[in-house]
Amino acid sequence: MGYCTWAGMNEANRIYHDTEWGIPVHDDRHMFEHLTLECLQCGLSWDLMLKKREIFRQCFDNFDYDKIASYGDDDVERILNTEGMIRSPRKVQAVINNAKCYQKVREEYGSFCDYIWAYSGGKTILYQGHDVGTIPVSNGLSDRISKDLKKRGFKYVGAVTIYSHLQACGIINDHDKDCPCCRQINETNPTVRKRRDHEVRRKC
């Protein structure tokens, strides 16, 4: 039975792959958690994000963006002084900023999920060739969403970060074609097949 190669690197990756990655998310809090993890990862490894995830949940009220949006200087200091937390004032401030921007999107669209899923027509996208390993680091869709989020004031939302987010929250299904998760997602969610979209490849 096939399996996404990266999922076998360690137990944390396996659990994340089997229970979360690529499964469509339609809950705003869960969506904000995924987006925040991707933003915090910038310049760091995904393994580190998974290892520190419970610390992040502790620091950011389980990713309750309404609570986070009201954070002040004392909260920033509390978070930075939390044992095991990433010592980056800019990233902590970005999470707070993004929570405020997230609220504004919710006010405009009813929910952030409605906003971001509208880019795919509410369906999980299956890009040509992705299921056999030709996966980019960003594409036209992630670039368009990135630009719009930046206009809305979001931080740490470049096209590469957003592509990873779209994979994580199930808007793009990039599981290997022989991975059981690929089939399960496709069988239980509406999907749409599309041609490659201005893809950017990782440089060797």
Residues catalogued as catalytic? 16, 38, 46
For 186, the token pair is 């496709």
- Distance between CA 3 and CA 5 in Å, rounded? 6
What is the torsion angle, in degrees rounded to the nearest 10, for the CA atoms of residue 55, residue 61, residue 65 and residue 69? -100
- Distance between CA 123 and CA 111 in Å, rounded? 16
Residue 63 makes CB contacts below 8 A (sequence gap 6+) with 29, 30, 32, 33, 36, 56, 57
- Distance between CA 84 and CA 87 in Å, rounded? 9
**Residue holding tokens 């992040």?**
56
* Stretch (H or E) spanning 98: helix 89-109
154: buried, middle or exposed (CB in 10 Å: 19+, 13-18, 0-12)? buried
